[in-house]
Amino acid sequence: MTTSEEAPLLKLERVAKTFPNGTVALRGVDLSVERGKVHGLLGANGAGKSTLIKILSGAFTATGGRIWWKGSVVQCSSPKEALDLGVATIHQHIPVVPTLSVLENVFLGAKRGWRHTMASRQAFGELCERVGYWLDPDAEVGDLSIGQRQMVAIFQALGSGAELIVMDEPTASLAMEEREVVYQTVRRLAQVEKKAILFVSHFLDEVMSLTDCVTILRDGEAVMRAHTCDLDEARIAEAIVGRQIVAMVRAAPKKLADDAKVVLNVKNLASVGNLGPVSLSLRSGEVLGIAGLLGSGRTELLHAIFGADPRATGAVEVLGKPIARSTVAAVAAGIALVPEDRMGEGLIPGFEIWRNTTLPALGGVSWRNCLPIREREMERARDAIERLKIKAQSPDVFVTELSGGNAQKVTIAKWLFGEVNVLLLDEPTAGIDIGAKTDILRLVRDLADAGMVVIIVSSEFEELLAVSDRILVMRDGKCVAERNGHETSEHELVLLAGGQLAGTLGDAGSQMQTTGQ
């Protein structure tokens, strides 16, 4: 007879989920997670990963199958029940309270008042020591970067004392040095503390290096269960998408026409403490990649161009016309931003796909009295679903019901129906599966070929190399180097971004004038 200690900590038998509208998200999934092991849960966007995670975290209730915990059948009907059971979930959309401090967020589930005591500060210090990462316990979480907020969520899970920790894309928004911290934490939790880890990731290299075994979902079913040592990245990728993946190769070097017009001109753009001054000029059809580590000023540059930073100084011109420093003026001039925090800044969670898709360009679907025409909006949404391969049953699906990658596609799609001259993309492939990632990078090329200017920020430098005509490297809020996309490498970009290699501008370079050739 198998004892609870010998049995898997968590075991799923034919777990299924069908929503009231008839959508079948899971068709009967088997999964076993053991103590002291890192189990990878993989799959394309819409494969069922998010639904399975929500069932484990108590947010959803399974409509079929059984869940075993320490050898006994259980069913959690709320997140608190799951946490009390010993299951902590670090969600992809970081569930922290921006108006509370780091300390208050980490011990949010503790008894009232306990998180303000010296004991809580001591416990927080022990967590920092345990992970090897330090945060100011009194800092307001809303002031932290995406990467720092992710670390707060990890601290929160560890502080709960959970036996199973579910990590949903924990490194998607982190810089390389912060990813290494997560990797070390995962290894310590599994190997030293004998925690069970269910690790969801689209980065196949970290799956290969971190996990002991993997389960791959496709269309709501488990299509592969195997030990990681028996697999390679190509075989995993093929199982995820159901077909062989062709590696994304660099676009052919682009020679701009001599009469190609200057679309975007930025002069001495700066912001207090974290940006510039930066000057750049881009002509029709150019793709500019921005490389840099977390905190280098990449996001700040995009926000300043978009008019979202009220402290910014300098000038932004589109097609030779100065743009007032506001997001309204930027959108009117044809500047579009796809932000890093898609749910917090890029979408309206309470709206369906069709409302989100047509929101920036309602003028094109309105009568003279400015009232939107529902059928035109639905037609655009259906076009977006087909064009970007968004996995949704209909345009009426709320964006909160979509997987992370499909929600990101909606964030991009909403800008494709207006008169956009400049598209700013901040980590557009974070948390997206390998197939969808290729689709988005190809879309970037297609938009540039049609004459649009695209500026793309990505922590994955290989993506920048695949689509960019030129790449600017940022460090400490300044542009420290510029490279032709076909005359550099991922290795060189990493060294430049980390300050281990002097850039073209030298260490004193604080301003760059760059013009497409």
pLDDT tens by residue, 471-503: 999 888 888 888 888 888 887 887 787 776 666
pTM given for the model: 0.61
**pLDDT at position 500:** 65
Q: Among 191-195, 245-249, 384-388, 422-426, whose mean pLDDT is lowest?
A: 245-249
Give the SS3 label for residue 75.
Answer: coil
Q: Whole-angstrom Cα distance, residue 21 to residue 516?
A: 51
Q: Is the pLDDT of residue 109 over 70?
A: no
What's the sign of the alpha-carbon dihedral 297, 300, 302, 307? Answer: negative
Q: Is the pLDDT of residue 507 over 50?
A: no
Q: Is the pLDDT of residue 25 over 80?
A: yes
More confident residue, 501 or 40: 40
**pLDDT at position 136:** 92
**pLDDT at position 407:** 84
Q: Whole-angstrom Cα distance, residue 277 to residue 267?
A: 8
Mean pLDDT of 303-314: 89
Split at pLDDT 50, 70, 90, the class of 161 is: confident
Split at pLDDT 50, 70, 90, the class of 116 is: low
Mean pLDDT of 256-276: 82
CA 181 to chain CA centroid, Å, is 18
Q: Is the pLDDT of residue 504 over 70?
A: no
User: For residue 445, which phi and psi values (nearest 5 degrees)?
Assistant: -65, -45
Split at pLDDT 50, 70, 90, the class of 189 is: confident
Mean pLDDT of 258-285: 86
Split at pLDDT 50, 70, 90, the class of 252 is: low
Q: What is the DSSP string of 98-117?
A: TTSBHHHHHTTTSPTTGGGS
Q: Whole-angstrom Cα distance, residue 266 to residue 480?
A: 16
Mean pLDDT of 62-68: 93
Tokens representing residue 294 in the block:
């977390």
**pLDDT at position 515:** 43
**pLDDT at position 363:** 60
Share of the chain above pLDDT 90, in %: 24
Split at pLDDT 50, 70, 90, the class of 6 is: low
Domains and CATH numbers, the chain: 10-241 (3.40.50.300)
**pLDDT at position 430:** 76
More confident residue, 282 or 491: 282
Mean pLDDT of 433-456: 84
Written in H, E and C, the secondary structure of 371-436 is: CECHHHHHHHHHHHHHHCCCCCCCCCCEHHHCCHHHHHHHHHHCCCCCCCCEEEEECCCCCCCHHH
Mean pLDDT of 2-8: 58
Q: Is the pLDDT of residue 77 over 90?
A: no
Q: Is the pLDDT of residue 53 over 70?
A: yes
Helix (H) or strand (E) holding 38: strand 38-43
Split at pLDDT 50, 70, 90, the class of 517 is: very low
State the average pLDDT for the chain.
82
Mean pLDDT of 249-265: 73
Lookup result for tokens 């990797």: 183
With contact defined as beta carbons under 8 Å apart, do 53 and 76 qualify?
no
Mean pLDDT of 439-463: 87
